[in-house]
Structure 1
Amino acid sequence: MVALLMGFISLTPSFPSLPCFPPLSFNKRRPFFPIAAMSDDPIRDWILSEGKATQITKICPIGGGCINLASRYDTDAGSFFVKTNRSIGPSMFEGEAHGLGAMFETKTIRVPRPFKVGPLPTGGSYIIMEFVEFGFSRGDQSVLGRKLAEMHKAGKSSKGFGFDVENTIGSTPQINTWTSDWIEFYAEHRLGYQLKLALDQYGDSTIYQRGQRLMKNLAPLFENVVIEPCLLHGDLWSGNISSDKNGEPVILDPACYYGHNEAEFGMSWCAGFGGSFYNSYFEVIPKQPGFEKRRDLYMLYHYLNHYNLFGSGYRSSALSIIDDYLRMLKV
């Protein structure tokens, strides 16, 4: 989601104003500085054991944000990307790691491989993952479309719609309770959850009541549609799409779950997908009847989330989509 510009950190190593520096070392003759033992630094411990490094040669900050901090750890065994959060426990990063791991296992599109999630001894949490050296563009859109469709085709679930863990969309909890019916899942755990947040946070009974009417009348939008639970990135916008140094597409910062493949395009209003992207995608997974009628329905979830996170600037877009569907469905 767009909130990641303000929160989650891009992996792009292009912040010249942030200096790289060698690993900290404390002078033991100055006891008034707190000296962290090796066992008190789980990030360093993992890198120097399971990460198979013998020394950390450089630690380089990569940007900053209001949610997480990010660093590149250079070692004699390669580089690692580390995100830390000093106030949130491991559950948020566990959700991210599960998503990255699931996408990685499809062996289709490149994602940073997750290695380790854990708590920090002073509070908060961390995640260690593969460091991806990015190129200078977002890559070829036709390749992105094809590889994304291949991921959707390869990543299937026998449990229905949902995910093994709850995660977040930006900083909003995303409920992933396994559900056998897609319409029920999307209505309750995506639209319904966001509508309730808007009611609780803003007292917005108008958008809540109209949204509830829409939730109860979604079935006509899915007539003659075959819906399989596909592995979705879940938050695919331009800030979460890049390419590696070879020009291959890379996607990151997911909010994964198994859902209708078309829901992946819910952030298309700020993803910049062009004709070549969709043409390549639909060559792998053909477009189904009524696709155009459902596009705004999947955007609605993200507009509601932005409304709940950033305020009234997104309310009119969300309400307009709801009202358009109520007129279309005549309910």
Structure 2
Amino acid sequence: MPSLSAGLGHALAATSGIDFSGAELRAIGGGCIHRAFEVLAGGRPYFLKLNAAAALPMFEAEADGLAALAGCEAFRVPRVLGCGSAGDEAFLLLEHLNLRPLASAEDGQRFGRALAQLHRDAGEQFGWARDNFIGANPQTNAVHDGWARFFVDCRLRPQLRMARARGYGGALGRDADQLLERVPAMFLEYCSRPSLLHGDLWNGNAAMDAEGRPVIFDPAVYRGDRETDLAMSELFGGFPAAFYAAYRTAWPLAEGYEQRKTLYNLYHVLNHLNLFGRAYLGQAERMLRTLADELR
């Protein structure tokens, strides 16, 4: 195993209070933004993320989100042990958890009940005290009193602006502009509340720990409509049917969720278009057309 550099070891020790002298690194696959490692120090494992020093704001935002989720106590959340930079590297040091995917109906039930509990943590306004990131893209969280205006101004409009800057404006076209104007009409009879959200709840950010407790990580936290987390969980699949049944039993969904789900997932598809390119353009166009037709 490779060893930690002296500079990084000193920085980790200074922020965490843990002795990393002689610590060893083992690379862990799976991340597409940061490099991930298991660090063995003093006979104990820790989870370490590394990136260029310029990525420190991403780690700071992640640490902030993890702390917010941990404060609710609905889920097991990796404890933040250190965050900072050393030379040309930024780092985030986390508690190491032994994780496994959600595999059984019981896993799904526990996760669904935990998510409903998280969403019952409600604030007074939509947004968050700081901006953060959705993947590698910035996520604006300016506080709003109204959900529809927040979703237009802080979610859809910034992603559409990025898409047009990348040359996709002609493809997305008039349907996008019309949608921004008509989104408030979707919320005339539906009342959102500012629930605490994970913000990026796909199955890769969800797991069970060795004791069978539901775990979430890699958040993009803010306060918004609880349905956005559920919608994101459906976008790429991977959650047991029991998860959705348990959530709806704990907190039933209002009429019109299927239409709102398309709206909410448009944000994530546009984000993937901006992160990964044209492969997501057709899906974004179809979602825009569906919503435009429904709102005429």
Q: CA RMSD in A?
A: 2.3
Contact 2:149–2:184 (CA<8 Å) still a contact in 1? Answer: no
Aligned to 1:145: 112
Query: Match for 2:221: what amino acid?
Result: C
For residues 87-145 of structure 1, what are the alpha-carbon distances to aligned partners after superposition, in whole Å with 9 as ceiling and x for unaligned? 4242110110111110000011111111221122x223111111111136556112111
Contact 1:266–1:301 (CA<8 Å) still a contact in 2? Answer: no
Q: 1:36 to 1:109 in 2, by over 3 A?
A: closer
Greater helix content: 2
Give the whole-Å Cα distance in 1 for the aligned partners of 2:265 and 2:7.
49
Aligned to 1:297: 263
Contact 1:182–1:259 (CA<8 Å) still a contact in 2? Answer: yes
Query: Match for 2:34: what amino acid?
Result: N
Structure 1 residue 57, shift from structure 2 partner: 5.1
TM-score of the superposition, structure 1-length normalised?
0.81
Structure 1 residue 171, shift from structure 2 partner: 0.7
Contact 1:266–1:302 (CA<8 Å) still a contact in 2? Answer: no
Aligned to 2:217: 252
Listed as ranges, the matches of 1:3-152 within 5 Å are: 20=1, 23=3, 36=6, 41-47=10-16, 50-51=17-18, 53=19, 58-63=24-29, 65=31, 67-76=33-42, 78-120=44-86, 122-135=87-100, 137-138=102-103, 140-152=107-119
For residues 175-199 of structure 1, what are the alpha-carbon distances to aligned partners after superposition, in whole Å with 9 as ceiling and x for unaligned? 1111111000101111111111111
Q: Secondary structure at the match of 1:216?
A: helix
Of 220, 227, 231 in structure 2, the residue corresponding to residue 262 of structure 1 is 227
Contact 1:135–1:243 (CA<8 Å) still a contact in 2? Answer: yes
Pair 1:273-2:239 in alignment: yes
Query: Match for 1:216: what amino acid?
Result: E
Q: Secondary structure at the match of 1:218?
A: helix
Aligned to 1:226: 191
Contact 2:101–2:206 (CA<8 Å) still a contact in 1? Answer: no
Aligned to 1:12: none
Q: 1:54 to 1:202 in 2, by over 3 A?
A: closer
Pair 1:310-2:296 in alignment: no
Contact 1:94–1:117 (CA<8 Å) still a contact in 2? Answer: yes
Aligned to 1:189: 154
Q: What 5-or-longer segments of structure 1 have no aligned partner?
A: 1-19, 25-34
Greater gyration radius = 1
Q: What 5-or-longer segments of structure 2 have no aligned partner?
A: none
Q: 1:180 to 1:56 in 2, by over 3 A?
A: farther
Structure 1 residue 245, shift from structure 2 partner: 1.1
TM-score of the superposition, structure 2-length normalised?
0.90
Structure 1 residue 260, shift from structure 2 partner: 0.4
Give the whole-Å Cα distance in 2 for the aligned partners of 1:79 and 1:148.
28
Query: Match for 1:275: what amino acid?
Result: A
Contact 1:198–1:308 (CA<8 Å) still a contact in 2? Answer: yes
